[in-house]
Amino acid sequence: MYRDPRGTIYHPHLGEEFPLGTLSVEDYQRPEWTFNKILYVEKEGFFPILKEMKWPERNDCALPQFQGVPQSCRSRLDRSPWRDRRGYTILLHS
């Protein structure tokens, strides 16, 4: 069963957002060496603020935003090859 995109991931340095749904996550290929961190902020409202401040570009950090945390997206990011390059995920929650 496939589900509609439930969020996006913003790629620093490319300035592009990519959809995160069941099909798109299966086909997701991270661009080479554009980031080595993923910052997921659980609360709404931080995504546009961080983008406006150019925080992702200054810190080589991708920004995903989800409606909830879809298991398929989290699983795909967790086993993504970028983690083999000393990448890590940062989660901010209350």
Domain layout of the chain by residue ranges:
7-27+34-92
Give the pLDDT of residue 1: 67
| Per-residue confidence (pLDDT) for residue 57, from 0 to 100 | 93
Which CATH number does the domain 7-27+34-92 belong to among 3.50.50.60, 3.40.1360.10, 3.40.395.10, 3.30.70.600? 3.40.1360.10
Is there a contact between 9 and 20 (Cβ–Cβ < 8 Å)?
yes
With a pLDDT cut of 70, the percent of the chain lying above it is 70
Which tokens go with 71? Answer: 């298991």
Dist. CA 34–CA 94, nearest whole Å: 29
pTM of the model: 0.70
Examine the pLDDT at 16 and tell me if it is beyond 80. Answer: yes
Q: Is 78 helix (H, G, I), strand (E, B) or coil?
A: helix
Which strand (E) or helix (H) includes residue 19? strand 16-19
Which residues are registered as beta bridge partners of 19?
8
> Average pLDDT of 61-86?
64
State mean pLDDT over 30-48. 81
What per-residue confidence (pLDDT) applies to 85? 57
Residue 20: per-residue pLDDT: 79
